[in-house]
Structure 1
Amino acid sequence: MTRPVDRRALLHAVLGTAAVAVLGGALTADASRQLPGPSGVLRVATGEPTAFYAAFGRLLAAELEAAYPRLTCRVRTTAGSVTNIELLRDHRADVALVLTDTALAAQGTDLFPHPVPLRALGRVYETYLQFVVRADLPVRAVADLAGHTVSLGATGSGAAVLGERILHAAGLSPGTDVPVSHLPLADAADAVRTGSVDALLVAGGVPLPTLTDLDDRVGLRFLPLAGLLPRLGGRDGLAGSGLEEVSLPQGAYRSAGGVGTIGVSNLLVCRPDLPRGVADALTRLLALRASALVPGNAVGTQFPDVGSLIGTGGIALHPGAVAAYRSLHG
């Protein structure tokens, strides 16, 4: 029988010693080359090419290959969280980035009628839900979108799932009150620019270059979402769903500073059968090289510190991750 993980004790252990390890350069490319480490091919499922998932995945792959030269990482761009879980289920990916609420849904819901076993390696950063509308439209809240065309994220993304919940929370019926499409981010931005779509929802870090460019071209208004949070918590409440109130950082976009929106934690997950040595190596890199995994244009505090990594909610840590976090305690 597996002994339950005392997350509070583990948190104190990691906080007490991992920061020292980071300052001491405990995981560097040169140091790790002295160890055999994992080898072979690691398939990493990320997100849309222009979004933060893909940027994070590329940085993660580069750090892993530098630290473990016998390991080859293949980064796969995808539609997002739902697709990534399907790739794990079908053994077409080894690790993947997913929104916490989508990972929880994989335990058995209408979205995933057959549960998909997942294990977490860490809570890696926080995504911001960004619901934007052309600034020249009389839309200042989600409830005002009645009769307006909306793209709710690409099919297969976590945003597509959350988007419908957000519309319902605002008293709107997707497809009836609001014509809905599911376009990849680049296509949705083009549609907003040309006027064929009025608004789009995306889940990602800030700023997203695609939204920055669109704001410069046509002018955007970022819709407040925080007021809808009480209707989105689900049976386990907001903490259980990985949702929380956040504000778009000042300076992230031209006119969005201080807008209250919804933050969703992101997990790096795998199947339970990922070899412990690989899980250990990945987890150590997350804990000790976090600063190297931040895309250069990121603002705000959406990326991990050692204390937040183990906060994976209802998704259990992989045994290799548990061993890695404990080993940081010495």
Structure 2
Amino acid sequence: MPARHLMTRRSLLALAALSAAASPAVGPAGHVKRPIVMATGLAGAPYGIFGRRLAREINRRDPALALRVRNTSASVRNLRLLGTGGADLALALGDSAADAFEGVGAFTVPDPVSALARIYLNYTHLVTDTQAGVSRVADLAGLRVSLGARGSGTVTVAQRVLSAAGVEAQVRPRYLGLDDSVRALRGGDIDAFFASSAVPARTVRELADGGRVTLVPLDGVAGILRKVHGPAYVDVSIPAGTYGQASEVPTVGVATFLMARSGLPAETAFRVTRAMFAARLTLPGPEVPGAYLDERYAIGTDPVPLHTGAAQYYRSVYG
């Protein structure tokens, strides 16, 4: 696996400033509707829900924009759509975004993608039936495990967690979205599933309310993943009581980015970023402490560079 780029955020902002100087200034420039496609996630899944609300709030705040949501299986599929021009914006997990930018992992060549913002932190949920006898990742060997929907960033995270535990080749994989994974676990068709979500995940909480659910701890896994795959992975804990559990559960955190195709006009990227931050208090965010749509943290998208228009917005905020 190639080493991650070591360019600093200051360097990225400086580069964006040079690019911006050569482009027309961002301004009102009338109210011409621009059809903008944003790839999100499955309709009832976290990205699908968040993306629909985000598009509605952005359209409401800027009459020059017209976002249209495209439901997909999420991160990997979304980033491929950006690369081919099938979407202008996309929600994606930070590790998948880095892979797309660098042309590694699920991406055979680099895709022309950039970031508008780091939005919020996802918590990796490894959920199992208490009767499956799973207390650590290695116990999944030989069991039926949903890794997430094909084309989602959850699959990437799940495969890397299983690889770190040395059991990737030993599980019996299924590829189900979150809602389908919950139904399959409840029906006894799988033994465990992975999910990437802000906390709490509504469907996981509903499942936990019915009993017989265990959250498997992933303590120490984020550090292993950082060494192998780069800085996208952080150590976090699901707070005690979130799903009725007595104590906090250590796990792996991966940020969600709002991504853009690199060829998106700077003015459009500026307007989208500005409207998103104007709407931050009306968007569904995590219920746990952490950086959520905060300009101080939103530029933390390394190694993915900021889009020129997004960099213009952050300079307008900081002066």
Q: Does the 8 A contact of 1:151 with 1:199 survive in 2?
A: yes
- Picking from 201, 205, 216, the partner of 1:208 is 201
Deviation for aligned residue 1:5: 6.2
- Picking from 254, 269, 283, the partner of 2:273 is 283
Query: Structure 2 matches for 1:181-330, cutoff 5 A?
Result: 181-235=174-228, 237=230, 240=231, 242-255=232-245, 257-295=247-285, 298-301=287-290, 303-330=292-319
Query: Structure 2 matches for 1:146-165, cutoff 5 A?
Result: 146-165=141-160
Deviation for aligned residue 1:8: 10
Residues 1:124 and 2:125 are matched in the alignment: no
Q: Please tell me the residue identity of whatever aligns with 1:204.
A: S
**2:67 matched residue in structure 1:** 73
Supply the distance in 1 between the matched residues of 2:201 and 2:43 (Cα, whole angstroms).
Answer: 12
Q: Please tell me the residue identity of whatever aligns with 1:100.
A: G
Size of the aligned set, in residue pairs, is 298
Deviation for aligned residue 1:292: 2.0
Aligned CA distance change for structure 1 residues 169 and 298 (closer, same or farther; 3 Å)? same
Deviation for aligned residue 1:186: 1.6
**1:142 matched residue in structure 2:** 137
What are the superposed Cα offsets for residues 150-208 of structure 1, whole Å, 9 maximum, x if unpaired? Answer: 0011100111111111111112133xx21111112221111101111000001111111
Q: Please tell me the residue identity of whatever aligns with 1:199.
A: A
Q: Does the 8 A contact of 2:223 with 2:235 survive in 1?
A: no
- Picking from 39, 47, 50, the partner of 2:33 is 39
Residues 1:98 and 2:92 are matched in the alignment: yes
Identity of aligned residues (%): 37
Unpaired runs of 5+ in structure 2? Answer: 1-7, 15-27
Aligned CA distance change for structure 1 residues 67 and 137 (closer, same or farther; 3 Å)? same
Aligned CA distance change for structure 1 residues 144 and 93 (closer, same or farther; 3 Å)? same
Deviation for aligned residue 1:256: 6.7
Unpaired runs of 5+ in structure 1? Answer: 11-33
State TM-score, norm by structure 2: 0.86
Deviation for aligned residue 1:302: 5.6
Aligned with 2:295: secondary structure? coil
Deviation for aligned residue 1:249: 2.3
Aligned with 1:232: secondary structure? helix
Aligned CA distance change for structure 1 residues 275 and 79 (closer, same or farther; 3 Å)? same
Residues 1:62 and 2:56 are matched in the alignment: yes
Q: Does the 8 A contact of 1:247 with 1:257 survive in 2?
A: no
Aligned with 2:103: secondary structure? coil
State TM-score, norm by structure 1: 0.84
Deviation for aligned residue 1:300: 3.8
Aligned CA distance change for structure 1 residues 254 and 49 (closer, same or farther; 3 Å)? farther
Aligned with 1:79: secondary structure? coil
Q: CA RMSD in A?
A: 2.2
Q: Please tell me the residue identity of whatever aligns with 2:243.
A: Y
Q: Does the 8 A contact of 2:12 with 2:305 survive in 1?
A: no
Supply the distance in 2 between the matched residues of 1:235 and 1:200 (Cα, whole angstroms).
Answer: 23
**1:16 matched residue in structure 2:** none
